[in-house]
Amino acid sequence: MIKILIADDEGYQRALLADIVDKRFGREAEVRTAENGRLAVDAAALWAADVALMDIEMPGLSGIDAARQILAQRPACKIIFITAYSLFTYAHEAVKLGACDYILKPVDPDDVERAVRRAAAQGEAQRQLEAMAAGSADLLDGAEGYDKTNLLMGKVKKYLQHNYMACDISLDSVSAMLNLSASYFSALFKRTFQVNFLDYLTELRMDAAKELLRDPLRSTAEVAGMVGYESANYFTRAFKKKVGMTPTDYRRRAAQGQGGPP
């Protein structure tokens, strides 16, 4: 069961979100609400929330500050910000903080369900990977070791598919999580998937960026942050190298129904 915390200073908004979660998740989820950031911090820690739907602009302790305190106490909690303004400053701050998504008001039930399911999947993928990490250093060659390696790398693949948007995800961070040296993990990854770690991660990010760029309301800088790049300029260079055109050109061609590089 997913423990979902809803934090918003507006009572009708809390009720609306709770109703959406109840209708879309039913017995899959347990919900608690908080009317301000301070109560949200306490509830997330004491209740061990899995996901927090957090209004950014709460009075007193803002959603950003509350989320920062929640993650300091409970790093496994996945934060989804809710805001009435589509401003990159919010998205950028959210990405730096480690939020996994944000939703614009007025909230769309489909957006809420998508964001919560993705957040829950991220958490589950991370738990599975960490559960395997204890025995990962004992991987051996041979039949049994081969099976263990494939199982482990399958978990790594799932973890990357659900967490590619994290700015701090890297070969070093994942290998450290598995208690493996970066060089050994890199060799395992390449041997298993016939592609190096960075190329695989970049492919995931660019595929997601293509979908996001189809939304004309999202700036290139905002898309960059949502797929794991803190620098919009670096994202633009990486996108052009991988796709063959700039994000702006891709958006224009997509709008014309052409898609893909020329």
Give me the mean pLDDT over the 66-93 stretch: 82
User: pLDDT band at 143, cuts 50/70/90?
Assistant: very low
Tens of pLDDT along 145-175? 567 788 888 889 988 998 888 877 899 989 8
pLDDT at 255 over 90: no
- pLDDT number for residue 139: 53
The two domains 2-120 and 200-255 share their CATH topology (first three levels equal): no
Domain covering 200-255: architecture: Orthogonal Bundle (1.10)
pLDDT at 262 over 60: no
pLDDT at 92 over 90: no
Q: What percent of the chain has pLDDT over 70?
A: 88
pLDDT at 260 over 60: no
Tens of pLDDT along 8-57? 999 999 999 999 999 999 999 999 999 999 999 999 999 999 999 999 88
Query: Greater confidence, 132 or 231?
Result: 231
Domain covering 2-120: architecture: 3-Layer(aba) Sandwich (3.40)
- pLDDT number for residue 85: 66
pLDDT at 235 over 80: yes
As a three-state string, the secondary structure of the chain is: CEEEEEECCCHHHHHHHHHHHHHHHHHHEEEEEECCHHHHHHHHHHHCCCEEEEECCCCCCCHHHHHHHHHHHCCCCEEEEEECCCCHHHHHHHHHHCCCEEEECCCCHHHHHHHHHHHHHHHHHHHHHHHHHHHHCCCCCCHHHHHHHHHHHHHHHHHHHHHCCCCCCCHHHHHHHCCCCHHHHHHHHHHHHCCCHHHHHHHHHHHHHHHHHCCCCCCHHHHHHHCCCCCHHHHHHHHHHHHCCCHHHHHHHHHCCCCCCC
pLDDT at 142 over 50: no
pLDDT at 115 over 60: yes
- pLDDT number for residue 30: 96
> Where exactly are the structural domains of the chain?
2-120, 200-255
